[in-house]
Amino acid sequence: MPAKDTAAKADKNRIPDGRGPAKSVMKATLKTELQILSEIGRISNSSASLTEKLQQTVEAVARGMGKEGASVFLLDRSGATVTLAAAIGLNQETIGKLSFPLGMGIAGWVAEQKVPLALEDPFSDPRFQYVPETGIERFKSLSAAPIMDESRCLGVIFVLSATPWNASASDITLLTTTANQISGVIQNARLLDDLQGRLSELGTIYDIGMALTSTLDFEELLALIAKNATQALQAKGCAIRLLNLPVTRASGFAASYSLIDDTVKEVDATIGEAIARKTAEDKKPLLIRDLSLDTSFENTAALTPTSIISVPLIFHNKVNGIITLYNKESGQPFYEDDLQFLSTIASGAAVALENAAMYERMEELATDTRTRAEKLSILYDIGNAMSTTLDLDKLLRIILTAATMGSGLA
């Protein structure tokens, strides 16, 4: 082998000694990585909301990697859908609205497979789903990495390039490292949100408890329960159906009180009683994230997509009614923590309704007692008159006067 070729081969296989271009690239990549991670650390320690932190993060990532766009998709609590949570370079109107089912689209695929992906031409990839409203056509190439919490995927981060870009191994490593750092941002922000949410729930439960003890008027109490439950869980509708309470004076279920938005009136009218009946029979809360995917109820095909939570009002192991909420104002489905919160409200509401019903029964008994006493008094006056006079006209006047004052003896 010629000496020149041998030298060239040796030079090609030589490990960088710190003086070659490979070392310079490595140093530049390390510097970029440190800059991005430092910026994310600063963002993580700020008092901004999770939405603001994610937006600042994608801006820092795009700037640090020298690309024109970046975005973050978050996996919802059910683990079924990824939704655009922050973006730069894409149309801002699609944030919070653009979603993909797990496994669908590039975001859904990366979230499901939990592996990074680089595509120089994503438009030709069968996994790519084009959504023109996003403005994705401005970009030619992309790289994506899952945001992981140990083995659980929290979301996906994208870097978007307006020019063709064949991402290198170091680019993927940088993006994966960045995704790991973003995982901490998300977890810390969610932990803080959860704590604040719990405090808010405790305050709401206290306020509802105070409201429920402020009245014994049955109709007013039903209105308070529906109003507070709807506001606390930001629902579009609430229906309370009573059962086994004497004040209902009816057999079966009746919509004793409802606070229903027009968008869910048809849903409640169609399956409200069926949901209440199932909840009462099971004696346990019911969660339906998406009615269109639930096959437990009939005649739902023509109804709009609806999320429902239904909880029994139980007092001394007896179901006295059902409280049902429809759809969240945010458009998100109800989750287990929403169901648990409504169950807490329902436990206090069941006691309050029983007390109000008992109060109304006592009022009715007091009225009946007074009526009977009046009737007995009339009979006593008539009997006394009959024993003290033989004058028929006088006797008839006494009877007529007593009957008129007592509204009759019937």
Neighbours of 321 (CB within 10 A): 29
Q: Show the tokens assigned to 67.
A: 């690309």
What DSSP state is assigned to residue 332?
A: P
What DSSP state is assigned to residue 334?
A: P
* 213-360 matches 21-192 in CATH topology: yes
Residue 21 confidence (pLDDT):
52
Q: Please name the CATH architecture into which domain 21-192 falls.
A: 2-Layer Sandwich (3.30)
Residues 281-301 have a mean pLDDT of 88
Distance CA 65, CA 181 (A): 15
What DSSP state is assigned to residue 123?
A: G
Residue with tokens 């990549």: 29
User: Which residues are CB-neighbours of 297 under 8 A, at least 6 positions away?
Assistant: 271, 274, 275, 291
User: Which residues are CB-neighbours of 87 under 8 A, at least 6 positions away?
Assistant: 55, 58, 69, 70, 71, 72, 94, 95
pLDDT in tens, 351-378: 888 887 777 677 777 787 887 877 777 7
Highest mean pLDDT among 65-79, 350-364, 378-392: 65-79
Residue ranges of the domains in the chain?
21-192, 213-360
What is the chain's mean pLDDT, rounded? 82
* CATH 3.30.450.40 corresponds to the domain 213-360: yes
